[in-house]
Structure 1
Amino acid sequence: MTTPPFTGFDGKKALITGAADGLGKAVADALHAAGAQVWGTSRSAETTAQICARYGTEPIPGLDLSRPQDIASFADAVDAVTGGIDLLVNNAGVNVPKPALEITEDDWDTVFDINVKGTFLISQAFARTWVGTKTPGAIVNMASQAGIVAIEERAAYGSSKAALIHLTKQLALEWAQYGIRVNAVAPTFVKTALTASTLERGAWADELRSRIPLGRFGEACEVSGPTLYLLSDAASLVTGTTLVADGGYTIR
C-alpha cells in the first residue's frame, strides 16, 4: 500500500516530531513528496540530523519533549534555521502498556509529560511565533482510538490521548482568531516497528483485529493521508476536529 498523492504543499515548511520511523516518518515522507520542505525531530541530535538530511533540509537540534525547559529554545532554533514553519505535526509520543493496577506514578508522569504537556508547550511556542508574524499555521496532533474507547493495558496512554483530543479542541477555539487551525488524527493499531510486540502476540493480536470491522490493522500511509488532508487548504474550514482512522474500531 502506498501513500495517496497530495499536491498544494509547494513553499510550505513543515516540522514533524518523532519522524525517525513509524507514523512520523510516513507523514514526513508524504509531505516531502507533496512538495513541502520538511524537518523532522528525534531525541538524538544525530538522528535528527539524519532525518533532515533525508529531506535535504538544514539540520535542527534534537528534541526531547520530556524536557520542557528546552522546548522554547528548540522552537527559536527551528525558526532561525527554517525562517519560520507553516505546519506542525505533533507525532512524538510514548506508551507504557501495563494493567492499571501495575502503573506507577513515574509511568503516569512519563506518558503525560510527553504526550500532553510536551505537545502543548511546543504547539504554544510555534503559535506564539505565528501570532507575532500573522502566519495562518496549521497543527495536527497524533491522537489515538485509545483516547476514545478503553483498551486493555492503556490506562495512562488512553487517558493522555483523551486529554490530547480535548486539548486539540481548546487550542482550535482560542487560536482560530489568528487563523491557526488545530486538528487531530486518531488511528487504530498500525503496523510499525514500535507496535510489532503487540500486533504479533498471537491470540491477543487476533482479538484486537477482530474488533476492527474492516478486519485488519492499519498501514502507516493510511494515517499520513488523513494528516495531510487536515494540513492542506482542502481542510481550510476544518478546525478542532479529530479525524478517526480506525477501520471502524470505535463504531461500537
Structure 2
Amino acid sequence: MMTRLVEQRRVVSDILLDPKLSKKEDSVLNLKEYEWDLIGELSDILRPLADTTEYMCTERCVSNMDSNIASRVKEVIREDLIRRYQPSSDTAAESTAALGALLDPRYKKLPFFSSQQRKITHGALESCLEDLPLRLPACDVNNCEETPSKRRKLDFLDFSSPERTSEDEVQSYLSEKMVSDTDPLLWWRDNEERFPKIAIVAKRVLAVPATSVPSERIFSATGLLINKLRNRLSSEIVDSIIFLSKNEVNITEAD
C-alpha cells in the first residue's frame, strides 16, 4: 500500500489540491514533503518482509541513509524476529526449518549458523537417516518382487558391493558446492540416485508447507464449493473436485 501511494504521489496531491475534485477540508490530508520521504523509507524497509511473506505463502535493498524513525522500525523488526525464532540457539539448529535448509542445495552450507549449530543440524540429519531401513529397495516398483526360482540361495552371503554408509553419503552431499537459482525438489529428483537415503528424508522435510496458508486456501475453496444449492455433494466428489482444482498446474505440466 505504501509503495502504491508513493507511486501515485503526484496524482494524489493534484486531486487533494483541486477544488473541483476535493472539498476544502480535504486539503489537510495532503502530506508534507518530509512525510512523503518517511513513507518512502518505510516502504523500502518493509518491502523485503512483504516479498518474503508472499514467497512463503505461494505453493514461491534498503538505503543506509535512514532517518531516526526508519532506524527504529528496523531495530524493532529485528528484535521481534530474534525473539520469535532465536536463531542463535541450539533449538533453532534442531528445528525442521534448519533441516530443510540443510536439505536445500542452495543453502546446505548453513552460512547463517555457527559451526556448533551446523554440527547439531548435521547430527539431526544423521538421526533421520538412522531411522531408515538398513537396505533400500533398488529395483523397479512394478517388478520388485522376485520369484523363488530367481533368488540365489546364498544371496545373503554376497559382500561384493557393500552399500555406502549414511555418514559417507552425508559427507559426499555436503562436500559439493551449493547450487544457486534452482528448485530443490527438481534437484533432488535429478540426484536421487546419487544420494538415495538423503533423498528420502528430503522428500519428507521439503514437503512440509512453510505456512498454514495452503491449507487455509483449501478450506476457503471448499466453502465456495459447498453451498445451499450444492449441499448434496458426497464427500468423495468434494475431495475429487478440490484435488483437481489445487493440482491443475501439476496435471497440466504432466501432460
Same fold (TM over 0.5): no
> Which structure's CA Rg is the greater one?
2
For the aligned pair, the TM-score class normalised by the smaller chain equals under 0.3
Greater relative contact order (Cα 8 A, min sep 6): structure 1 or 2? 1
The structure that is helix-richer by fraction is 2
TM-score between the two structures when normalised by the length of structure 2: 0.23
The structure that is strand-richer by fraction is 1
